[in-house]
A and B are shown apart, each in its own frame.
Chain A
Amino acid sequence: MNRNGKMIGFAVIAASLGGAYALAQGATGPMTQAQVTAGRADYIANCAGCHAPGLTGAGDAPALTGATFNSAWADKSTKEMHQFISTSMPYGNAGQLSPATYTNIVSYILAANGAKPGDKPFTKDTDVKVSTIADGKIVAAVLAGTVPAAAPRPAAGAARPAGGDGDGGGRGAPAFNLGHTVQGTVKNYSDVTDDNLKKPADGDWLMFRRNYQGWSYSPLNQITPDNVKNLQLKWSWAMVGGGAVEVTPIVHDGIMFLSNSNNTVQALDAKTGELIWENRLGPVQTSAYGATRSLGLYKNKVFVATTDAKIHGLDARTGKELWSTTIDTPPKSETGGVMVINGKVLTGLMGCDQYSVTGCYISAYDTETGKQLWKFQTNARTGTPGGDTWNGLPDELRGGTDTWIAGTYDPELNTTYWGTAQAKPWLRASRGTADKAALFSTSTLALDPDTGKLKWYFQHIPGESLDLDEVYERVLIDHGASKEVFTIGKTGFLWKLDRVTGKFLGIKPTVFQNVFAKVDEKTGALEYRKDILEQKTNQYYSSCPGPEGGHDWQATSYHQPTDNLIIPLSQSCVMIAGRDVDKKIGSGGTAATQLFFFMPGTNQNMGRLTAVNTATMATTWTWQQRSPFLTSVISTGGGVAFIGDFDRNFKAVDAKTGKIVWQTRLGQMVEGYPSTFAIDGKQYLAVTAGTGGGSPFQKPSTLLTDVHRPLNGTGHEVYVFGLPD
């Protein structure tokens, strides 16, 4: 239930209506207790996954209470709120709930913010200024579902959506039993060694980006531009619904290890699609968020970090849980996947947008026991290096710097490379960091994997202020003696750094941008547009690209034979306004409202695929299409690159020329991190489809009204293709 803002002119509209508002604050609101009670269940079923059960917001979804609620809604009317929610939410499934469900949800949100239920039911035409009935102060009893003794109890079935079950209601998740639900044993499993991780077997895809260098490149060469047209579906598997699909099918010795929604891990025979074991670790997810991007393998174990901020070690042969360690407590979570280095499993942390005592960090755990070995604080604490770059904010108000993409590793330098997200709330005007850098946000970090000690950092955008992450993949490439690390973020700037020292080596724009007035090509220093530097809360600022990127979590592929980095890009813009934030633990969030528009100069083409030569930083080839890409790119020794898009197309392109040589259409948006592997000498290709996916799926969901996708169910599925036998 995000995007609770409206156009800039709303304030004027609301003011003009002001005289008609009859209710004074403290009077009974325009809804009944029955609606509030039903609305609580409807909110939990349809909204809480994004906006959190306590209305505190999370990720892209702003808080629906406190200062953020007031700055977005206080001057507007309940009719406008209902109009917005009923036409915009749930995101990706807008307008699909029953009319009663929408009025219930609005009633609940208002009551949770202080409005008092009365005798008159809320309708779509109820027109009351929000600030006259709700003050933004959360009402614990409403959140808890405690019906005041004096209030009338809802009649059975009253105000229930069609098909509602009286409690979960609406699109409530079906029952999902947790536990080691399918027990079986992987036969002939061979332990994964350090040497395997350093030099994966050609037929394996052992980790997130296949190799430690983050190439997303396989030397397999059976599928070529000439024969790719013969690809055929070998098997598919319906994955757990709910949440989001952004997964990498990991394959070792012909076994696919698959992370699903609800923190469910499965092992499948990668040749036949037969399920071998399943462990539903939980918790169950209710939102379009919470994808687990990758698992890790080491020796006899498979590792998964989960959406409740835990990390688990499972027996790779049986799926039995061997250990579980708490990283932090929700709303912290982890979705970025894990990596294994020298017997340690490393993970980042998400959900750091909400103010907390513990802040945000990268941490490492013993693969045998799960014991935490070290952690590196990404939001620098007072009195530590970088701690004086937060404009004097107390440590608990230093939000963000999440690490939601797993790192890469150089074994020779024994250095691991991670990207960090921006400080949060998104806009500096909301978070109060003024013109300070807020280390170690939007940075590349080079860490010693044995100790977590920082070797160097490079901050790409000091004091980033528009939700333009630089958190994504760090790709390690050598040119002669030059050891380099490449990364590209939402700005669309491709960065080249010396990975020994962190020295800036180059920058290249890949999409139009209007955020930075100056780009110093010698140092990489960026200078914001003047109005962005002088930003205030509750005012809109143009950002091209917007939070979709540029480049987002859909990772690049380094096609080694051509020295090209093949980059999925998106082209859209936003008007973004930072909201006021309560400066207290549990508040924070991203605190912004976005309005989307097509990127000028693109003819409404939201997707672009570009190959850049990493030695020269020159564009080798590029083309654009209407739908943005929702998978990472993988490329192969056969000279083919694969990518999937919002319009359900899975495409193969000639890696040298960019020419499309094959495509097929799947059941849902093609979304995730494809992989390729070999069994018995035969090459296969795995790709997932489904929903969720954050900004890269949200923006086109609004802008591309002509692109139709299944609205019923999430359609999460893994597809495996191969050449004819």
Chain B
Amino acid sequence: MFRQRTHYVLIAGLVSLLAAPAFAADVQYSTPLDPVAFDNSTVKNNVGTGEITATLSGKTLTVTGKYSGLSSAATKAEVKIGPVMGVPGPVVGELKIPGGMSGDISGSITLTSAQLASLNKGGVSVVINSEKAPNGNLWGWLQTAAQ
């Protein structure tokens, strides 16, 4: 009886260790940044390219990347969360950018459990706004290599 109870305790302890975020392996994400395009009246302004990599450690998502080729200075880099990939959602955080038509992107945000679930569905996007494209110049949805 004692031996069986010890087993239960050990198993429960092991499960709790495996489930603890602090011990979870980091997860890598990446995405190219595509020009948003939209229509013929905006496509000339919404140009450029970029790359994003991100690491999820626990609930903290650390983002790095770069962008270039904009037709006007970048004004803001935002993290948005929607339900699935391809659906823009509300802004949940901002990233650092230098402005200008090219530069580096960096920053980190802490995600809630619901936001982590969206991340696993590909619902987290990085959006670069610019002077001529204030509603989105470049964007991309974070994916793991397996996705």
Cα A531 to Cα B87 in complex, Å, equals 10
User: A514 contacts B32, CB within 8 Å?
Assistant: no
User: A597 contacts B38, CB within 8 Å?
Assistant: yes
Interface status of B128 (Cβ within 8 A of chain A): no
Which of A23-31, A81-89, A262-270 lies at the interface with chain B? A81-89
Interface bits B73-114 vs A (CB < 8 Å: 1, else 0): 000000000111111100000000000000000000000000
Cα A180 to Cα B147 in complex, Å, equals 59
Cα A601 to Cα B145 in complex, Å, equals 11
Which of B13-21, B53-61, B133-141 lies at the interface with chain A? B133-141
Of A95, A514, A705, the residue contacting B84 (CB under 8 A) is: A514
Residues from 539 to 596 in A contacting B, C-beta threshold 8 Å: 542, 544, 573, 575, 594-596
In the complex, the number of residue pairs spanning A and B with C-beta atoms less than 8 Å apart equals 86
Interface status of A621 (Cβ within 8 A of chain B): no
Cα A702 to Cα B47 in complex, Å, equals 12
Interface status of B130 (Cβ within 8 A of chain A): no
B133 nearest CB neighbor, chain A only: A7
A95 / chain B contacts, CB cutoff of 8 Å? 40
Interface of B is mostly: loop
Interface status of A504 (Cβ within 8 A of chain B): no
Of A9, A530, A596, the residue contacting B83 (CB under 8 A) is: A530
Cα A83 to Cα B84 in complex, Å, equals 33
A598 / chain B contacts, CB cutoff of 8 Å? 34-35, 37
How near does chain A come to B99, taking the closest CB pair, in angstroms?
21
B31 nearest CB neighbor, chain A only: A600
Cα A6 to Cα B43 in complex, Å, equals 12
Interface status of B36 (Cβ within 8 A of chain A): yes
A596 nearest CB neighbor, chain B only: B37
Cα A702 to Cα B84 in complex, Å, equals 25
A6-B39 CB under 8 A given contacts A600-B122, A603-B32, A604-B34:
yes
A84 / chain B contacts, CB cutoff of 8 Å? 39, 41
Interface bits A498-525 vs B (CB < 8 Å: 1, else 0): 0000000000000010100100000000
User: A703 contacts B32, CB within 8 Å?
Assistant: no
Interface status of B72 (Cβ within 8 A of chain A): no
Interface status of B44 (Cβ within 8 A of chain A): yes
Sort chain B's interface into a size bin: 20 to 34
Please give the number of chain A residues whose Cβ is less than 8 angstroms from any Cβ of chain B in the complex: 37
Q: Which of B38, B40, B85 has the most CB of A within 10 A?
A: B40
A10 nearest CB neighbor, chain B only: B135
A604 / chain B contacts, CB cutoff of 8 Å? 32, 34
Interface status of A97 (Cβ within 8 A of chain B): no
User: A3 contacts B84, CB within 8 Å?
Assistant: no
A84 nearest CB neighbor, chain B only: B41
User: B84 contacts A601, CB within 8 Å?
Assistant: no
Cα A276 to Cα B86 in complex, Å, equals 53
A545 nearest CB neighbor, chain B only: B86
User: A702 contacts B37, CB within 8 Å?
Assistant: yes
Interface status of A617 (Cβ within 8 A of chain B): no
A3 nearest CB neighbor, chain B only: B39
Q: Which of A531, A601, A703, A705 has the most CB of B within 10 A?
A: A601
A601 / chain B contacts, CB cutoff of 8 Å? 85, 141, 143, 147
Q: Which of B36, B82, B86, B135 has the most CB of A within 10 A?
A: B86
A88-B41 CB under 8 A given contacts A9-B135, A514-B84, A514-B86:
yes
Q: B residues near A, CB below 8 A?
A: 31-32, 34-44, 47, 82-88, 122, 134-135, 139-141, 143, 147
With A88-B41, A701-B40 known, 4 other A-B pairs at CB within 8 A are A530-B83, A531-B87, A599-B86, A604-B32
Could you jot down 10 A-B contacts, CB within 8 Å? A6-B41, A529-B84, A542-B82, A544-B85, A573-B86, A595-B37, A596-B37, A600-B86, A601-B147, A702-B39
Q: A residues near B, CB below 8 A?
A: 3, 5-9, 83-84, 87-89, 94-95, 512, 514, 517, 529-531, 542, 544, 573, 575, 594-601, 603-604, 701-703, 705
